[in-house]
Amino acid sequence: MFEAFFEMCQTPFSRNIPTNDLYESNQLEEIIGRLNYAAERQLFAVMTGECGLGKTTAIRRFTEQLDPSRYKLLYLSDSKLTPRHFYKGMLEQLGLESKFYRGDAKRQLHREIELMKGIHKLTPVVVVDEAHLLDREMLEEVRFLLNFRMDAQSPMALIMVGQTELWERLQLQSFAAIRQRIDIQFKLHHLDRSESKQYIKKHLTYAGVGRDIFSESAIGEIFSYSSGASRLINKLATHCLLFAAQNGNRIIDDRMVKKVIEGELA
């Protein structure tokens, strides 16, 4: 309902905004650059960050701009992922029926990757999302997966994405062998106040709004509540737009934001 009230042509702060219309902070630009580098050089990269900072958004932006004539994307996101299901999932995305035993499936995958790279000139890019939920056995399998031709060549670009506890686990001595294989590691940070303001403005521009709806004081309150976490900005801004439309307010100020937080999000 607030879209009509504010004369919007799109819904701002939604999860399905096209990647080209997303706010691109300096951090996001740097992350995309590093992920592209990992894809080009077939490296092992680990990206971590707190919940709601935009890890999935960054991966979506990265994967949607991958050149399909150069790369084959394989995406896995399963909290109960086992080594067998890991290989099974990748082989199924390649249109193949996986061998039953893990060792056979692993050899099958390596053969397919060699054919893919040798004949089709495609580099596989494997993204494992929600990697903080992987158990020890699956994390250990990552090390074996990257062992290829006596360490002379990595078979793929492997990108693991997870919450902060993933990196904390990898710091343990028991995971030293995996940690030492990581080529690129980066952590997502919260947006600062200026970036949060630009984030809100970018989303409103996407929605077709050519004027300021949130006052400076309102943006300050949104930043204080969200600490610059994009997911919380989206949630609070949407609630504020609903509240404003229901009460016939064209401008959202700090008092309205506080009222929404206390009445709906506290």
Any idea where the domains of the chain sit in the sequence?
2-7+191-265, 26-187
Name beta bridge partners: 162: 48
pLDDT reported for residue 152 = 57
How far are the Cα atoms of 64, 122, 176, 225, 235 from residue 89, in angstroms, in the given order? Answer: 20, 19, 27, 39, 33
| Fold designation for 2-7+191-265 | Helicase, Ruva Protein; domain 3 (1.10.8)
Phi, psi of 125 (to 5 degrees): -120, 110
Helices (H), the chain: 2-5, 26-41, 55-64, 83-93, 102-118, 136-146, 164-170, 176-179, 193-206, 216-226, 230-246, 254-260
Residue 148: the pLDDT is: 60
Tokens of 25: 């902070």
pLDDT at 19: 87
Query: What pLDDT is recorded for position 149?
Result: 53
Domain 26-187 has CATH 3.40.50.300: yes
Q: Which of 174, 90, 173, 160 is nearest to 132 (CA)?
A: 160
Neighbours of 111 (CB within 10 A): 10
Q: Is the alpha carbon torsion for 259, 260, 264, 266 positive or negative?
A: negative
**Distance between CA atoms of 165 and 24, rounded to whole angstroms?**
25
Residues of the chain under the 70 pLDDT cut? 147-153, 266
pLDDT of residue 242: 97
